[in-house]
């Protein structure tokens, strides 16, 4: 599911501008930054609050992970220090967060934390 979501929304405005020969290559969330894949899923100031909330939930579950985009976006965890249970919990949280981000693709707002929690 995570890979399917990433592949469905992998065409960022920068790539779409090249394909359509347009000059609009700015963030689809409306922050005004030049769009890259990492920006739209992680760096955009409109999606950062959702990721920070996800890390707060992990801290409450006593799961310590570095705040790194490779973990939720690519599913790459550090070697040996996470149990299978913790990885499964984190993966479900991250997939729900990605769906929340994908749903508001062309809207200039942060994904709803409540909708993200319900999705989980």
Q: Give me the pLDDT at residue 46, please.
A: 84
Q: Give the pLDDT confidence of 21-65 residue by residue, as tens digits.
A: 877 777 777 777 776 778 878 888 888 888 998 999 888 888 888
Instruction: Pick the more confident residue, 66 or 81.
Output: 66
pTM for this structure?
A: 0.71
CA angle, 64 as apex, 62 and 70 as ends, to 5°?
140
Task: Please report which confidence band the pLDDT of residue 10 belongs to, taking 50, 70 and 90 as the band edges.
Answer: low
Q: Give the pLDDT confidence of 75-110 residue by residue, as tens digits.
A: 887 776 556 667 788 888 888 888 888 777 767 777
Instruction: Provide the β-strand partners of residue 26.
Output: 34
pLDDT at 9 over 70: no
């Amino acid at each position: 599911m995570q890979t399917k979501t990433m592949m469905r929304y992998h065409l960022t405005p920068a790539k779409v501008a090249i394909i359509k020969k347009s000059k609009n290559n700015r963030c689809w969330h409306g922050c005004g930054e030049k769009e890259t894949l990492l920006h739209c899923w992680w760096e955009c100031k409109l999606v950062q609050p959702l990721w920070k909330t996800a890390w707060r939930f992990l801290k409450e579950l006593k799961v310590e992970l570095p705040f790194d985009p490779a973990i939720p976006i690519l599913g790459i965890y550090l070697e040996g220090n996470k149990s299978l249970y913790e990885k499964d919990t984190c993966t479900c949280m991250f997939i729900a967060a990605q769906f929340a981000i994908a749903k508001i693709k062309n809207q200039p707002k942060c994904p709803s934390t409540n909708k993200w929690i319900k999705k989980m």
